Structure 1
Amino acid sequence: MSTPSPSSSEDVRRTRILSSKLYFDVPPSKVPLIYSSAYNIAFLGMEKLHPFDSSKWGRICQFLVSAGILDKRCIVEPEEASREDLLVVHSEKYLDSLKSSMTVAKIVEVPPVAMLPNCIIQRKVLDPFRKQVGGSVLASKLAKERGWAINVGGGFHHCSAEKGSGFCAFADISLSIHFAFVRLNISRVMIIDLDAHQGNGHELDFAKDRRVYILDMFNSEVYPLDFNARRHIHQKVELLSGTTTDVYLKKLDEALEVAGRMFNPELIVYNAGTDVLDGDPLGCLRISPDGIIKRDEKVFTFARSKGVPILMLTSGGYMKSSARVIADSIINLSTKCLIEMQGEQNTS
């Protein structure tokens, strides 16, 4: 069997993107904050066997609503990514591999999942992931239209086209960028990945794509230690375990200054993991909650200063306190007028 030519495979990708239902018109009464209760993962208590807070996405929105900054009627609910949508980046072989409960158990790092029927895994684990993928893809459209968008989920940066790992089953960052290339006529994207862990998935996916510039600031001493993928980072800021807030923010300022000189993006994808928080068992950094808030403000200010739309994904964060910190950061972005959390009111 002959291998499809690059041009024909690109044509197939384009056709899939153009026929997708993940992009849809959002009324101005909604704010570009994307969430669904279907994001949250709960199955027989097994979610407690992984340090990830699998209900943090819903708790972020609860905090925002309780603070009076967000009307829950203004939240945008995404569509779930279909198999055809996922094939924009992933291969048939990889998607078929997820029909094995053993494979999914390895990806989510919860061994007992391997003992569950795959139909349960699809419904309780992979469906929530597919819904979050839909949110990330839609976020690129809303960011272009409104100047910013936040998917209260997503950021599965350890997943590449052919491999899932590190609680990341689908490559939502790669998917959202490919959709932006085709549907938004965007040709230059900057990924700012500030999760504590190296974003090896998108680094492998865009290894030879000059349209994508990657700034990745991560703890170089922890998972995934993917030295092959590190070769494809344009701007690599390697941190050591125990890095404190002041050092972290200074390195971020320096990195953003360089990035602004090196690349002129039309869209920024911001992977805003909170696993950099002091006490996080997997990130091993020592950034304070206020440090996270300042970090996010710096990235949004950078985007605003360049007049570039930005989409934010919440990515990793393995403590119960992460949800509160993310909500406080979004509140700060609103207070500083970097985002607008009120939808347009219909006066007719």
Structure 2
Amino acid sequence: LDEEDFLRVHTPKYLEHLERVAKRFFGYGGLLSTVGRLDYTPTVPKVLDFAKASCAGTYHAARLAQEQGFAMNLSGGFHHAFADHEEGYCHLNDVAIAIRRLQVEGRITTALVVDCDVHNGNGNATIFHGDPRIRILDLYQADNFYPATKIPSSHSVPLSSEDHIDDKRYLFELKQGLDRVMDFEKPDIIFYLAGADPHEGDRLGGFKVTHAGLESRDRYVLAMGRNNSIPVVVVTAGGYGNKLEDVVQVHYNTAIAVRDFAKDTHRARAFSADAAR
């Protein structure tokens, strides 16, 4: 990616700020947010390099998904990054950057973002506000402490932890939301934020979803893409488990699901090619 790719989403002033702060020994990208809550998003050289690499990874995963049906970036999902400032450990909005470049290149016109991170995707909601070509299904915990101000997307599904969001309820809400959003025009591509933080062991979440529930979630979203012939790009998004192995297990299960769907798609295409001979 080059500077022009970042400038399609982020303001010149903000990008200059990131480069300037990253050159110092350390920086704090907005220790106290405008809503008065602690927003510890440090900006250091390696963090900025990582953010840029993650953005490139999401774009290249999108290109691969268009070729083979499914692809995953083992990073990304920085849905708290705004056009003009960083929030929630997110400096650059990789999904928005990938979408805008794909549009400029003429590879897509429309996109659907399926955001299954437990936190409201306030950055995505703001960046894509008023753009009818981009729809966002945001399934999040409404009573989570972060972000303090929840910003609605085109298809928001706010859920309260007081309602005991277990596997059954979570998957029901996801399926209902996907049914509603797919009633509209079929998107050219799907970006799926497969957050690990809806897991029952996550210290920054409040849902009671198990590993099995999250694996079912992943496979349902991927199946929706396959059944509608829509490329699916998967990014990992958040995960803050009390046990690191829980976060790893969620992301591992997601990667295995993507692998399985990609293999099945490859086999189906090979069979179709053989049958046509």
Give secondary structure in 1 for the equivalent of 2:29: helix
Query: 1:191, CA displacement in angstroms?
Result: 0.7
User: Is the alpha carbon distance of 1:215 and 1:342 closer, same or farther for their aligned partners in structure 2, counting shifts above 3 Å?
Assistant: closer
Query: 1:202, CA displacement in angstroms?
Result: 1.2
Deviations 1:129-168 (A, max 9, x none): 1111110111221111111110010000000211210000
Distance 2:169 2:64 in 1: 33
For the 8 Å contact 1:97–1:103, the answer to whether it is kept is no
Query: 1:110, CA displacement in angstroms?
Result: 4.6
RMSD between aligned residues: 2.3
Alignment pair present for 1:272 and 2:194: yes
Q: Which residue among 254, 257, 270 is the counterpart of 1:329?
A: 254
User: Is the alpha carbon distance of 1:91 and 1:295 closer, same or farther for their aligned partners in structure 2, counting shifts above 3 Å?
Assistant: same
Deviations 1:21-66 (A, max 9, x none): x4xxxxxxxxxxxxxxxxxxxxxxxxxxxxxxxxxxxxxxxxxxxx
Give secondary structure in 2 for the equivalent of 1:339: helix
Aligned residue for 1:197? 119
Aligned residue for 2:69? 147
Number of residues of Structure 1 aligned to a counterpart in Structure 2: 251
Query: 1:330, CA displacement in angstroms?
Result: 2.5
Give secondary structure in 1 for the equivalent of 2:186: coil
Give secondary structure in 2 for the equivalent of 1:86: helix
Alignment pair present for 1:253 and 2:175: yes
For the 8 Å contact 1:189–1:265, the answer to whether it is kept is yes
Aligned residue for 2:270? none
Runs of 5+ consecutive residues of structure 2 not aligned to the other structure? 268-277
Deviations 1:219-263 (A, max 9, x none): 011111434x31xx1211111124111110111111111111123
Distance 1:179 1:198 in 2: 24
Distance 2:224 2:66 in 1: 16
Distance 1:200 1:155 in 2: 12
Distance 1:102 1:333 in 2: 37
For the 8 Å contact 1:141–1:184, the answer to whether it is kept is no
Aligned residue for 2:275? none
Give secondary structure in 2 for the equivalent of 1:340: helix
Distance 2:207 2:223 in 1: 24
For the 8 Å contact 2:72–2:255, the answer to whether it is kept is no
Query: 1:342, CA displacement in angstroms?
Result: 11
Alignment pair present for 1:339 and 2:259: no
Distance 2:8 2:257 in 1: 35
Distance 1:213 1:343 in 2: 28
Query: 1:341, CA displacement in angstroms?
Result: 9.2
Deviations 1:66-99 (A, max 9, x none): xxxxxxxxxxxxxxxx444322211111112222
Query: 1:340, CA displacement in angstroms?
Result: 2.2
Runs of 5+ consecutive residues of structure 1 not aligned to the other structure? 1-21, 23-81
* 1:167-178 to 2 correspondences below 5 Å: 167-178=89-100
Q: Which residue among 264, 281, 294 is the counterpart of 2:216?
A: 294
For the 8 Å contact 2:69–2:265, the answer to whether it is kept is no
Alignment pair present for 1:104 and 2:29: yes
Alignment pair present for 1:90 and 2:90: no
Q: Which residue among 143, 149, 153 is the counterpart of 1:226?
A: 149
Give secondary structure in 2 for the equivalent of 1:126: helix
For the 8 Å contact 2:5–2:101, the answer to whether it is kept is no
What percent of counterpart residues are identical?
31
Distance 1:216 1:84 in 2: 28
User: Is the alpha carbon distance of 1:285 and 1:103 closer, same or farther for their aligned partners in structure 2, counting shifts above 3 Å?
Assistant: same
Aligned residue for 1:262? 184
Query: 1:284, CA displacement in angstroms?
Result: 1.4
Give secondary structure in 2 for the equivalent of 1:269: strand
* 1:159-174 to 2 correspondences below 5 Å: 159-174=81-96
Distance 1:288 1:110 in 2: 28
Aligned partner of 2:252: which letter?
Answer: A
Deviations 1:99-126 (A, max 9, x none): 2344436399558x5xxxx7xx21x211
Aligned residue for 2:271? none
Distance 1:283 1:147 in 2: 31
For the 8 Å contact 2:112–2:190, the answer to whether it is kept is yes
Distance 2:175 2:75 in 1: 25
Query: 1:343, CA displacement in angstroms?
Result: 9.4
Q: Mean Cα displacement is larger for which, 281-290 or 320-329?
A: 320-329
Aligned partner of 2:117: which letter?
Answer: D
* 1:25-64 to 2 correspondences below 5 Å: none
